[in-house]
Amino acid sequence: MMKNISIIILAAGNGTRMKSPKSKVLHTLSGRSMIAHVVEKSLQISDDITVVLGYQFDEVSSEINREFNNINIVAQDTINFPGTAGAVMAAKPKFDKTLIICADMPLVATSELISLTQSNSDITIAAFESKDPFGYGRVVKNGDQVIKIVEQKDANEDEKAINLCNAGAYCFNTALLNSVLPQINNQNASNEYYLTDAIELALKAGKSVSSVLVNEQNFMGINDKLALSKAENIMQEQIKANLMKNGVIIRLPQTVFIDSRAKFEGECEIESGCVIKGDCLIKNSIIKSSSVIEYSTVIDSDIGPMAHLRPKSHIVSTHIGNFVELKNANLNSVKAGHLSYLGDCQIDSGTNVGCGTITCNYDGKNKHKTIIGKNVFIGSDTQLIAPLNIADDTLIAAGSSVTHDSQKGDLIIARAKQNNKSGFFYKFFGKKDEK
């Protein structure tokens, strides 16, 4: 971590092009909000981070505080000082250099942000070379020195031909930043205070301004849901490439979604069509095709195909088969082969869960827990009506609706007595002519 760098993250905009009632920076990719991705990368550089908010201040600040500690959160005076410079005015950086980045660039690479801070110039601009620079602000240079940044709408024909574009990230000498901010005015078509005006003011004061080349893709700004989708595809490719390089087998990776918070250890395999969502831990396990794992732990187990582990499930040395759903379930050395729902339960080693078994955990008002001991054999189509405690070495007959606890070694039979009425088929339907 670099102790002499302050970071300001600009996150005050409305993001109207998202066409959503939700703040742009709260939209997620690979499981986390844009703002969370940017703050996470900033924390690798500095411990003095200020996020400047405006639109939906309470909602965005709650998201930041939910994930992080010790982040400075301030509000921009968008009425009197709109624009990027107005946002920076709200922050109070405490170190010699100040790095300014936008919250809608979740793909930004930490290494490139660091390269911005290592320049000896008074101001360093992140810039990229684009084959299609239309719409971007152009970085105009004289040799190694930046002369100005000109927006597309203000550029002349020569300037429009420049393919060096402003990436929207800057590193300032903090004393210089504090001196030029009060000089910036809003005498422009948008009546906003632009941070890019600081470049011209710094040059007039004889200060040095340079640029650092960065990857255009990494500094991709997300302004609508199409861009959000493109950015998520890029991030997913990065996540899965990193996992595969570190030993995870992923079948048809383009069909798999893996949350940025998920962790994998040991020998793991993910088959096609799977979704790994939230801060899961998968260790020495195989997740078979079209299964969904949410906020759960899977160790030394096989899951699926077409299984669903809902949040707070903890699965160890267990076989979960097709069409099995778990929620808040703790299973240790268990077999649940198919077509079952196991919610709010604890099941111990050696237990076999028959096809169609259901833990009836909800009474319409509250959730209740089912505890199942060791070496329990649960027959098919069993309903376990919680709260319930099934002791070790219990045998439950198929088709039972279990409402009472068992003692060790019990056989539970809880079903209506079968009654065969002779000849009733013919009485009901009549006899069919034999041919």
For strand 263-265 and strand 48-53, is the pairing parallel, antiparallel, or unpaired? Answer: unpaired
Q: Is 175 annotated as a binding residue?
A: no
Q: Is 352 annotated as a binding residue?
A: yes
Q: Is 361 annotated as a binding residue?
A: yes
Q: Is 36 annotated as a binding residue?
A: no
Q: Is 161 annotated as a binding residue?
A: no
Task: Tell me whether residue 226 is exposed, middle or buried, using C-beta atoms within 10 angstroms of its C-beta: 0 to 12, 13 to 18, 19 or more.
Answer: exposed
Q: Is 24 annotated as a binding residue?
A: yes
Q: Is 321 annotated as a binding residue?
A: no
Q: Is 380 annotated as a binding residue?
A: yes
Q: Is 322 annotated as a binding residue?
A: no
338 is catalytic: yes
Q: Is 295 annotated as a binding residue?
A: no
Q: Is 46 annotated as a binding residue?
A: no
Encoded amino acid at 244, one letter: M
Give the active site residue among 319, 338, 368, 404: 338
Rounded to whole angstroms, the Cα distance separating 295 from 389 reads: 26
Q: Is 12 annotated as a binding residue?
A: yes
Q: Any idea which residues carry the catalytic annotation?
A: 338
Binding residues for UDP-N-acetyl-alpha-D-glucosamine: 10-13, 24, 76, 83-84, 137, 151, 166, 223, 310, 327, 341, 352
Residues annotated within the binding site for acetyl-CoA are: 361-362, 380, 398, 415
Binding-site residues for Mg(2+): 104, 223
Q: What residues form the annotated binding site? A: 10-13, 24, 76, 83-84, 104, 137, 151, 166, 223, 310, 327, 341, 352, 361-362, 380, 398, 415
